[in-house]
Amino acid sequence: MNAQRRSGFTLIELLTVIAIIAILAGFIAVAAPRALERAKLRRMQAAMIDIRTAMTVYYTEHNSYPPAYGYVPWSMRDESPESINNDNVYYFLRPYTAVLRIHGNEGLYDEFSESYDTNRDGRLSLLEFLPIGEKNLATQVVTFPTTRYNGSNLQDEVAKQMDATRRPFVYIPVNARQFKRARQYWIENGDFMATTWDPANPTLRNIVFPPSDYDAFVLISVGPGGSTFGLLPDPIGTEPARDLYHITALRAFFLATRDLNDNGQLDFHFVARTQQGEARFNRDNPYQVPGAPAGRDMAHNELPDPRAPNGYGPFIFAHPERL
């Protein structure tokens, strides 16, 4: 009579099952973060497109995109700061989110951000600052500081922004005609990181702020790299206070939309650097820039932030895509 067969698994069977589970867990551990990242990128792109739509509506009504925080509004073009005692009149101190009526709508904010400090250096540069304001719970009206941020004041507002868990996308509008002249100036001087501004230079002479309109803009997200990687420069130190934000924004716009090798890929864009090989154009593999002076015509695509020169870039949404 045959012995009764024992129930259960053999050691070999158990080890095989454990090995299969370990392999599947490894696949999930690798694939899940990438899937989550791709989902966040899709949502972020959709949010940027929604903002572009709102910008288009605003442009249709005003023949301009909204000015950025800290700009001199067109109505004050003939006035000097000394003649006005109220920053809230002389400078544009509302965030673009308030103008587009999306202020507080975190569904249209930067899902990759962790505070308003986009490069994680423990402070807010001019272009990182964007007031959160105070909301009246009874009226639901948000009021914003009436003094312009200069890099060291408005500490209560700065504290709120540093403690925030999500921020709006960085918004930089420019006048295309002014920007093309500025871009020509930087390329003709071999200054591919836009570190200078000489109003006496013939190319920049007679550029007056504010321009009559803003007909181009970029939205910048820290993206999966979690940083703007130096694309939001500090002031040079020679800009007139009146024009400080305008000039700094032109420099940031140049970096954000830079395509010096003219291959249709932005030099510092996350997608271009991770999928199109833009990060490979580093100091060991520079390229020649047409129009730049001899001896200063070789460029590379190392990010302005020296802590991660060949890493991820931020996610950049330019409209129009090329100027």
Which tens digits make up the pLDDT trace of 223-271? Answer: 999 999 999 999 999 899 999 999 999 999 999 999 999 999 999 999 9
Q: What is the pLDDT of residues 5-46, one digit of tens each?
A: 556 667 776 777 787 787 776 666 665 566 788 899 999 999
d(CA 108, CA 52): 11
Is 253 domain-assigned? yes
Choice among 13-22, 74-83, 87-96, 258-267 with the minimum mean pLDDT? 13-22
Q: How many domains does the chain have?
A: 1
pLDDT of residue 27: 62
Banded pLDDT at 2 (limits 50, 70, 90): low
d(CA 87, CA 92): 8
pLDDT of residue 1: 47
Is 6 domain-assigned? no
Is 35 domain-assigned? yes
Is 74 domain-assigned? yes
Banded pLDDT at 172 (limits 50, 70, 90): very high
Is 22 domain-assigned? yes
Specify the pTM: 0.89
d(CA 211, CA 64): 10
d(CA 90, CA 154): 17
3-state SS assignment for residue 264? coil
Residue 224: which domain range?
14-319
pLDDT of residue 22: 74
d(CA 127, CA 151): 10
3-state SS assignment for residue 169? coil
